[in-house]
Amino acid sequence: MIRRRLAQALPIILIILVGNFLLLRLAPGDAVDAYVAGLGGGADAGQIAELRARWGLDRLVWEQLALYLWRTVTLDLGISYIYNQPVGLLILERLPATLLLMFSGICFAFSLGLTLGIAAARRAGTWADTALVAFALVAYAMPGFWLGLMMIVIFSVKLAWLPLGGLDTLGAGLTGIARVLDVARHLVMPTIAVSFIYLAIYLRLMRAGMLEIYGLDFVRTARAKGLTEGRIAWRHVARNALLPMVTMLGLQFSALFGGSVVVESVFSLPGIGRLAYDSVVARDLNTLLGIIFVSTIVVILVNLVTDLLYARLDPRIAS
Amino acid sequence: MVELGNLETFMVLSRRSLLASSAALALAPRLAHAQAPRRGGVLRVAADSEYRNWNPAIAANNGVFLVARKVIEPLFDLGADGKTLVPVLATGWTPSQDGKTHSFTLRGGVKWHDGRDFGSGDVAFSALELWRKLQNFGRDVFRNLEAVDTPDATTAVFRFAQPIPAQLLAAALAPLANVVPRHVYEGTDLQNNPANISLIGTGPFRFGEYRRGEFFRLARNPAYWGEGQPLLDGIVYRVMPDKGAVAAALEAGELELATFGGVSIEDMQRLGKLPSLEVVAHGYEALPYVSILEFNFARPELQNPKVRQAIAHALNPQAAVDTIFLGLAKPAVGPIPTTDPVFHTSQLPGYPFDPRRAEALLDEAGYRKGADGMRFALKIVPAPFFEQTRRIGDMMRQSLRQVGIDASIQNTDLAGYFAAVYRERNFDLTSGVYAYRQDPAISTTVLYGSGTPAGVPFSNQRGYASPEMDGLLREAAAQLDADKRIALYRRFQELAMTDLPLIPFVEFPLVSVASRRLRGHHDNPRWAVTSWGSTWLAA
C-alpha cells in the first residue's frame, strides 16, 4: 500500500507546484516591487532593472517555471529574496518552532478533547454535558489571534505569570531541563491559542461518536455480560468512536500548518507560518514555493501515517 | 559650523562645545529628576521588519538604520537644532568655490570592531564602491563623484565631475555617508558579503547575534572612541510583527522602546496613560512623513486644474489630524513640511476645507451631478505602508462622495501598491505618503519633475509634465549658492501649490512609546537612527 500511495503522491506534488507557481505569478507586483517599496525610495531605474535581471524575474514565465521545476527535482530550493539565504536553510531554521507548536497543539487538543468528549457522552443529558457542549461552542467560535491577545493581556500583562512571546528567554543561556521548561512556559499560550478550535471539534466528535455507538447491539451484549460501565466506555465504545477522530487528526495536521501564521505573529514565534506570510508580502516566490513543497510532503506523509493508523484501529480497512 | 541654511563658514563645531550646548538644552526641562547617567543595562526595542541587507552603506532605509547606525557610523550626523552637522568620523569639511571638490578631515585613532585602524581608504572605498554604485539615494547624490583622493590617513578629498551644492551634500551626509571597512569588502561580492549582516563598524555598539525572525542583538564596543560611551551594555531588537503584541510587551515591561509608530494609535492612547510609559512625538523632526494625494493625469477629469482644486477643497485635513492621528500631526501646507528649518515657507496658495466651493468648482469645470447625484467615478489606491494612509483613503472616499465624486477604494499590499502606482499607473487617486529628507532635491522634487522612467519608486509616474516646473527644478539643481537655492525652492513650493499635481495633506511624525526608565532619548531630530551612545536606562 505504501508504494502505491507514494506513486499517487508524485502527480499531486507536481500539480501543487505548478498551480502555486502560476497562482503566485497572478498576484500584482513582483519581488523587486516589494523590495524597492520596502527600501523607502531612492532606487533608480538602472538599479531596479539590474535587480530584476539578477533575480531572474525578467525572463518569460514558462522559462522561470521550467527552471523552477528542474531545481525542485534536484532538491535545490533556491535563494530567498527577503533574506538572501538558501531557502532550505531558512525552512530548517523555522521548522522546529512550527513542528513543536503543532505537536503540542495536537496533543493538547486531542487528549483533552477525547477526555472531555467521553465525559460528556457518559453524562449525556445532564448539566455537566450541557456545560461541556456550551464550552465547545464558545471555543469553536473564538478566533485564535483574539484568544492569544486576550491571554497575553491576562496572563502576561496583568498577572505576569507567563512570558508573552518568543520561543525562549532572550540571552538566558539555559541548558538541559531548565531550557526545556523555559521553552514549555513560552509555548503554553500559543498552544492553547492554536488548538482551542480543534479541542472543540474533538470534543463534539467524540461525544457524538460515543453516543451513536452506545446504541449499538454489542454494547447491550457487553452490559449483559456484566462488564462495568467504565470498561464498556473505554474498551468498547471509545475505541470504536476513535476512527473519525483519527481522520480529523490527519486533516488538522494540514490545517495547523496554515493556522499557525496568525498565532506565530501574535506570539512572535520564529515559525514557518510567519515565514510564509512574509514571503507572500515580499512576493518571495522561492521561499514560498519552498515552504509549499515541504508542507506538501509533510502533509502527504501524515496522510499516509493516518491511513496506516486507521488500518490498525479497524481491521476491516486493512483487508 | 556647517549650517544647512548658510554655508559661508565651514568650521565644524568642536565636539565638546556642541555636547555642552545640547546637554544644557536637553537638561533644562528635566532638572526636576536630574540624575547622573547610569552605566549598564540592556535596552529592548521592538522591530517590525527584517532586511536582506543590513548594511547602511548599501540600504539607506530607516528600518536598517534603527539597528545598523549603532554599529556603523557616518561622516557627520545632524545636530540637535536640525541645521548644524555634528562631527562623527569626519571632523572638518572644506568645499571648494566651484563646488567640485569637497575635502574632509577624518578623526584619527579610530578602530574598526575587528581591531584594524580606520582611515581615509575606508571612506574612499565606501563612497566609490558602495554609496555611488549600490546605495539607494546615494546613486543619485554621488553619481558625479569621480574620485576620492587620500593624501594621508585622515584626509579624504571628494572630486565631482559636476559641481554639487554643499547644502545638498550636507543634507545627504547624515543619512547616507555610512562608512564600512575596506579590508572586509574589497575584492568580495559586495551585495553578498557576510558583513552585510554581521556588521563591522566603528560605532559604540558591535554586532552580537542575529537570529532571523527572533532578534538582533548588539553589544557594547569597549574600545569606542567617544569618551564614556556607550552607557548601555547592549541593545536587543525583538522582531515582533504584531502591533498588539508590541503594546502588550511594553505594558508588561518586556520592552523599553517601540519606535517609528510600532504601536497602533489606539494602543498608544492607552499606554500613554500608564505611569511606566510615555508617548514621544518629538525626536522625528528630520524624519517627517507627508501624506499626499496623487492625481493620475491619464484621467481627463484630473487634468483640469479646477477639478484638482475642487478635490483639495473637499478634503478636511484637520479632521484627519484629530481623528486618525489623535492630534499628533499637522495639516500640510506644501510639499516641504513645516519642521524643515531651512526651505519651508508657508506663504503658499491654500485650499481650505470648503465643500460648497468644491461643488461650485466642479460645476464650473463642466462636471455636473447626474441623476444618481454623482459627477464621475474615481478609484483611490491607499498606500499600505501605514495604517494612517489606509484610513486617510477611507476618509477621502467619504469626503469625495459628499461633493458628488463616486470614489471607491482598491486595497493592495506593498508590492501590489507599488506595481499599480509606480509601474502600471493603474489608479486615479492615491492616498500616498512620502518621506522628506532635509533637502528638497533628495526625495521631493522627483515627485514633481517629469521624465522619470516607469517603475522608479516615490516619483512622478502620474503624467504631470510642466515645462515651467521642469525648468525651475533644473535651475535649482544647478544652483550652488545656498541662499539662491533656498529662494528657488521657495518658488518651487509656490508653483507646486498653484499647479497642484498632488495635494500635500497631513504631515506626521512616527511616534515612539518609551519606558520612563529610558533616559537621553529623542534629543535629536533623527534620534531613532542615531548611535544611542549617550542613551541610558535608569534603575
User: What per-residue confidence (pLDDT) applies to B128?
Assistant: 96
Question: What is the average per-residue pLDDT within B179-183?
Answer: 96
Say if A33 is an interface residue toward chain B (CB within 8 Å): yes
pLDDT digits (tens, 9 = 90+) for B31-42: 445 578 899 899
Q: Is the pLDDT of residue B209 over 90?
A: yes
Say if A196 is an interface residue toward chain B (CB within 8 Å): no
Transcribe B141-182 into DSSP letters.
HTTTEEEEEEEETTEEEEEESS---HHHHHHHHHHH-B---H
A-chain CB neighbours of B238 within 8 Å are 165-166, 170, 268
Residue A136: partners with Cβ closer than 8 Å, 6 or more residues away:
A116, A199, A200, A203, A204
B-chain CB neighbours of A276 within 8 Å are none
User: What per-residue confidence (pLDDT) applies to B303?
Assistant: 95
Nearest by Cα to B186 from B118, B129, B113: B129
pLDDT digits (tens, 9 = 90+) for A204-218: 888 888 888 888 888
Say if B453 is an interface residue toward chain A (CB within 8 Å): yes
Say if A202 is an interface residue toward chain B (CB within 8 Å): no
ipTM rounded to 2 decimals: 0.84
User: What per-residue confidence (pLDDT) applies to A23?
Assistant: 85
Neighbours of A171 (CB within 10 A): 12
Nearest by Cα to B441 from B492, B495, B385, B501: B492
Q: What sections of B366-439 are H helices per DSSP?
A: 387-402, 414-418
A217 vs B306, which has greater pLDDT? B306
Nearest 5°: phi and psi at A74?
-85, 10
Kindly identify which residue of chain B lies nearest to residue A163, measuring between CA atoms: B254
B-chain CB neighbours of A45 within 8 Å are 452-456
User: What per-residue confidence (pLDDT) applies to B1?
Assistant: 38
With an 8 Å Cβ cutoff, are A164 and B416 in contact? no
Q: How confident is the model at residue A259 (pLDDT cuts 50, 70, 90)?
A: low
Residue B222 to residues B82, B202, B225, B234, Cα–Cα distance (Å):
30, 11, 9, 11
User: What per-residue confidence (pLDDT) applies to B91?
Assistant: 95
Nearest by Cα to B22 from B53, B46, B1: B1
pLDDT digits (tens, 9 = 90+) for B316-332: 999 999 999 888 899 99
Question: What is the average per-residue pLDDT within A129-156?
Answer: 87
Nearest 5°: phi and psi at B289?
-110, 145
Lowest mean pLDDT among A246-255, B273-282, B461-470: A246-255
Report d(CA B180, CA B94) in Å as an integer. Answer: 22
Helix%, strand%, coil% for chain A, nearest 5: 80, 0, 20
Superfamily of domain A87-317: MetI-like (1.10.3720.10)
Question: What is the average per-residue pLDDT within A85-92?
Answer: 90
Enumerate the domain spans of chain A.
87-317
Say if A164 is an interface residue toward chain B (CB within 8 Å): yes
Report d(CA B180, CA B71) in Å as an integer. Answer: 10
Share of chain B above pLDDT 70, in %: 94
The position carrying cell 513582483 is A30
For residues B533, B534, B535, B539, the Cα torsion angle rounded to the nearest 10 degrees is: 120
Report d(CA B519, CA B37) in Å as an integer. Answer: 8
Please give, rounded to a whole number of angstroms, the shortest distance from the CA of B539 to a CA of chain A. 20
Q: Is the pLDDT of residue A258 over 70?
A: no
Q: Is the pLDDT of residue B402 over 90?
A: yes
Question: What is the average per-residue pLDDT within B182-209?
Answer: 94
Report d(CA B209, CA B235) in Å as an integer. Answer: 11
Report d(CA B166, CA B492) in Å as an integer. Answer: 20
User: What per-residue confidence (pLDDT) applies to A319?
Assistant: 57
Q: Is the pLDDT of residue A316 over 80?
A: no
The mean of the pLDDT values for chain B is: 89
Residue A1 to residues A246, A307, B1, Cα–Cα distance (Å):
19, 10, 82
Strand order in the sheet with B502-508: B330-331, B502-508, B289-294, B429-435, B376-382, B405-409
Please give, rounded to a whole number of angstroms, the shortest distance from the CA of A31 to a CA of chain B. 7
Question: What is the average per-residue pLDDT within A241-259?
Answer: 76
Q: Is the pLDDT of residue A226 over 90?
A: no
User: What per-residue confidence (pLDDT) applies to B18?
Assistant: 40
Q: What is the DSSP letter of B422?
A: I
Q: Is the pLDDT of residue B25 over 50?
A: no
Lowest mean pLDDT among A204-218, B23-37, B49-63, B193-207: B23-37
Q: Is the pLDDT of residue A177 over 70?
A: yes
Judge contact between B380 and B409, C-beta under 8 A: yes
Give kind and range of the element (H or E) at residue B31: none
The position carrying cell 541593545 is B235
**Amino acid at residue number A17:** L
C-alpha angle B28-B33-B39 in degrees, rounded to nearest 5:
100
pLDDT digits (tens, 9 = 90+) for B414-461: 889 999 999 889 999 999 999 998 899 998 999 999 988 888 888 999
Question: What is the average per-residue pLDDT within B349-368?
Answer: 94
User: What per-residue confidence (pLDDT) applies to A41?
Assistant: 81
Kindly identify which residue of chain A lies nearest to residue B63, measuring between CA atoms: A39
**Amino acid at residue number B192:** N
Residue B462 to residues B176, B409, B428, Cα–Cα distance (Å):
28, 18, 9
Query: In 3-state terms, what secondary structure has residue B295?
Result: strand
Lowest mean pLDDT among A29-43, B200-214, B252-266: A29-43
Q: Is the pLDDT of residue B16 over 70?
A: no
Share of chain A above pLDDT 90, in %: 3
Say if A143 is an interface residue toward chain B (CB within 8 Å): no
Neighbours of B270 (CB within 10 A): 13
User: What per-residue confidence (pLDDT) applies to B22?
Assistant: 40
**Residues listed for chain B:** 539
B120 vs A2, which has greater pLDDT? B120
Question: What is the average per-residue pLDDT within A175-191?
Answer: 87
